[in-house]
Amino acid sequence: MNKKYRRVIIAGNWKENMLPSQVHDFCEALRKEMPESANGSSVVLCVPATHLAALAKEKSRRLAVGAQNISEFDKGAHTGEISADMIADLGAKYCIVGHSERRASNGDTDELVNAKIRALLERGINPILCVGESLDQRDRDLTMEFIAYQVKAALYGLTPEQVKKVVIAYEPIWAIGTGRTATNEQAQEVCFGIRELLRRQYGALISRKVCILYGGSMNAKNCAGLLAQPDIDGGLIGGASLKAADFGVIVREGSK
Ligand code: 13P
Catalytic (active site) residue 171: yes
The pLDDT, as a whole number, for residue 36 is 86
Residue 176, H or E segment = none
3-state secondary structure of 104: helix
Domain span including residue 224: 3-254
Closest CA to 102 of 74, 142, 129: 129
End-to-end CA distance of the chain: 5
Q: In whole angstroms, what is the distance from residue 158 CA to residue 165 CA? A: 10
Catalytic residue among 72, 101, 133, 171: 171
Amino acid in position 148: A
Distance 235 CA to ligand 1 centre (A): 9
Nearest-atom index, ligand 1, CA of 236: 9
Crossing angle for the helix pair 110-122 and 143-155, nearest 10 degrees? 40
CA within 13 Å, CB half, 16: 3
Residue with the nearest Cα to atom 7 of ligand 1?
238
Measured at the CA of 33, the angle between CA 96 and CA 51, to 5 degrees, comes to 40
Pairing status of strand 63-67 against strand 92-97: parallel
Q: In whole angstroms, what is the distance from residue 6 CA to residue 180 CA? A: 27
User: What are the average pLDDT values for consecutive 10-residue runs of the chain, which has 256 residues?
Assistant: 81 98 98 90 97 97 96 97 98 98 97 98 98 97 98 98 98 94 97 98 96 97 97 98 98 95
Please list every protein residue whose CB sits less than 6 Å from any atom of ligand 1.
13, 99, 171, 176-177, 215-218, 236-240
Catalytic (active site) residue 24: no
Number of domains into which the chain is organized: 1
Distance 233 CA to ligand 1 centre (A): 16
Region of residue 61 (phi > 0: left; psi between -120 and 50: alpha; otherwise: beta): alpha
Task: Please enumerate in sequence order all residues whose Cβ is within 8 A of that of 181, keeping only pairs 6 or more positions apart, or say none.
Answer: 175, 187, 216, 217, 218, 219, 222, 226
Q: Which of 176, 222, 242, 249 to mutate to test the pocket of ligand 1 (most atoms within 8 A of CB)?
A: 176
Output the domain CATH number for residue 126.
Answer: 3.20.20.70
Region of residue 18 (phi > 0: left; psi between -120 and 50: alpha; otherwise: beta): left
The pLDDT, as a whole number, for residue 1 is 52
Catalytic residue among 51, 72, 99, 133: 99
3-state secondary structure of 21: helix
- Burial annotation 212-231 (CB, 10 A radius, 16+ → b, else e): bbbbbbbbbebbebbbebeb
Q: Say if residues 156 and 129 touch (Cβ distance below 8 Å).
A: no
